[in-house]
Amino acid sequence: MKRLDDYWYSQNPIAWLLLPLAGLFCLISMLRKLCFKIGLFKSYQAPVPVIIVGNISVGGTGKTPLLIELCTQLKQKGFKPGVISRGYGGQAKQWPLAVNANSDVIETGDEPLLIAMRTQCPVVVGPDRVDDVNHLLKNFECNVILSDDGMQHYRLKRDAEIAVVDADRKFGNGFCLPAGPLRESLKKLNTVDMTILNGGRSDQIAFSIKADHCVSLIKQEQVKALSEFTGKQVHAIAGIGHPGRFFNMLKKMGVRCIEHAFNDHHNFSQNEICFDDELPVLMTEKDAVKCKNFKLSSHWYVPIDVELSDSAQKKFDQIIEQVCHG
């Protein structure tokens, strides 16, 4: 049986049947946004700059690796960034929750833990972004806040918005939920400070994903070049918003993949990533944070970085200058 999101990337009878609900969703979204704009609903202005890195569609667009890159660049420029996140899938008993590299992924969710591990920046998760900001500023020293997603969380005012778009899937059939993948109208992109394409051309405001090595889940100090798997068959595991992007990246490097795609934020069991053969297993870094306590054999995760186009880097610099230097 197909999942609902299988119908989001084409014009089809199921999507058309859901159009009345999509219209209602869009109307509620616009009215809610209007209420914040005219002051009927109150918004909170943080005492430090807030940059939203999000999207207007459901599903993986690559915002997390882009946010990690922005964190890195801010630190290189002498700033002290902190990160807030919804912590999707996290099951903490109390919110907000501070995250560090040793946190329990069951409590935090996978993306916040990955961000904390990669950036070494303070990260706070919770369903209320305003509470997250206050907890972050009360307990950590930061002078700029990055929000992992939250573009539609209008209770928190923002100084800049970066919208990430998947260059392959773009906006699907162009319909709002539940008929399509859009969280709000495409007109939103006319108001953001930057729209950046994941997988776009070098002459566009875009970035590409790069990966050249993998790390053992058993011994973190053990590193292999990805090229060592060229021409070899592996089990490839991805529980991300767009698993095909990970599989295609490996295939372009000549890796022969037996693909195992899971839902985004999937909580793995050990049996799901262990197979009755001796083939190596390659998985995303986001998935690996949920599997580090398993008894594994030849399992490797693939760290990814982003490479910005010249125009994207220029836009990044402009936003940092405008927002952080004012």
Which residue range forms the structural domain that includes residue 241? 212-303
Verify that 50 and 197 share a domain, yes or no: yes
Verify that 178 and 229 share a domain, yes or no: no
CA distance 309 to 77: 19
* Alpha carbon distances (Å) from 32 to 5, 27, 39, 138, 184: 25, 9, 11, 29, 11
Half-sphere exposure of 70 (CA within 13 A, CB side): 35
Helix (H) or strand (E) holding 134: helix 129-139
CATH number at residue 23: 3.40.50
Verify that 134 and 150 share a domain, yes or no: yes
Verify that 49 and 140 share a domain, yes or no: yes
Tens of pLDDT, residue by residue over 4-26, are 788 899 889 999 999 999 999 99
Verify that 229 and 273 share a domain, yes or no: yes
pLDDT of res. 219: 82
Instruction: Answer for the pair 240, 247: CB distance below 8 angstroms, yes or no.
Output: no
Half-sphere exposure of 11 (CA within 13 A, CB side): 1
Q: How confident is the model at residue 1 (pLDDT cuts 50, 70, 90)?
A: low
Share of the chain above pLDDT 90, in %: 81
Verify that 88 and 201 share a domain, yes or no: yes
Q: What's the structural domain count of the chain?
A: 2
CA distance 136 to 128: 12
Verify that 272 and 316 share a domain, yes or no: no
Average pLDDT of span 263-269: 90
Bridging pattern class, strands 299-302 and 213-216? antiparallel
